[in-house]
Every structure is written in C-alpha cells, then in structure tokens.
C-alpha cells in the first residue's frame, strides 16, 4: 500500500523553525488534499495537540531553555507527498490518510489554542 508524508513546521514569533514529518498509510486525492487545507486556519495553521500530531516547539526549547514569549499554539502545514522507499522503511506509520483527514475535518472552524501549553489568550 502507498504511504504519504505530511511535512509541517513550527515557527515561533522570532522566525526560529523546527521541521517535522509524519508518515501516513495510504494516499490522498487532490480533492482530499484541498479538503484538508480548507480545514486549516487561514489555509495553513493547525494545533498539533488537537489532531494528535507530534509537537515541534519543544525542539526550540533546547536553545531557549524552555518556552519564551515568542511561542504560540500553531504549527504550519507544508505539504503532503509520497513517501520515498527509504522513508517507508525508516519511519513508523503515524496513522492513515483517512484518519488525518477526519481529525482535521473535526477541528475545522474551531481550532482550540488552549490545548497547547503555548497558548496565551492575551497574545492572540
């Protein structure tokens, strides 16, 4: 069965970045990919904790010794692409493309920033 890579990133307010990827079982049609992107805040942002995708902001904490005023709740969707043969052997499957689409559809229009420890309602 085909496997897909979801590439995403966390970018703090100072533009420091941490990149990530999860491998998915299956593939998405162009229409399904559009549906997923339509679920994102401003067609780009999501709360990783809400959809169960591993958070990336902690990778920046090793440089700052923990959260800073630049941290926030959103991760950024980059792209979906076919997994390479090497990735298919090295990465564990996070879930299926159907599951990913389902959890993003459930979050559409009501991304819950409070699920992230970096959420500060005054900042947003």
Domain positions in the chain are: 3-112
Q: What is the mean pLDDT of residues 97-118?
A: 95
Per-residue pLDDT, 69: 87
Cα 2 to the center of its chain, rounded Å: 20
What integer best gives the mean pLDDT of the chain? 92
pTM: predicted TM-score of the whole model, two decimal places? 0.91
Lowest-confidence pick of 30-34, 50-54, 62-66, 89-93: 62-66
Q: Say which residue the tokens 């800073």 belong to.
A: 68
- C-beta atoms surrounding 74 within 10 Å: 21
Per-residue pLDDT, 62: 87
């Amino acid at each position: 069965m085909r496997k897909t890579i979801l590439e995403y990133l966390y970018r703090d307010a100072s533009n420091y970045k941490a990149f990530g990827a999860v491998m998915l079982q299956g593939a998405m049609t162009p229409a399904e990919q559009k549906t997923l992107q339509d679920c994102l805040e401003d067609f780009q942002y999501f709360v990783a904790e809400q959809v169960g995708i591993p958070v990336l902001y902690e990778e920046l904490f090793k440089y700052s010794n923990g959260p800073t005023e630049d941290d926030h709740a959103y991760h950024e969707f980059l792209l979906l692409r076919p997994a390479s043969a090497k990735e298919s052997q090295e990465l564990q499957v996070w879930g299926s493309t159907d599951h990913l689409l389902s959890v993003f559809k459930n979050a559409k229009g009501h991304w819950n920033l409070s699920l992230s420890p970096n959420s500060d309602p005054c900042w947003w």
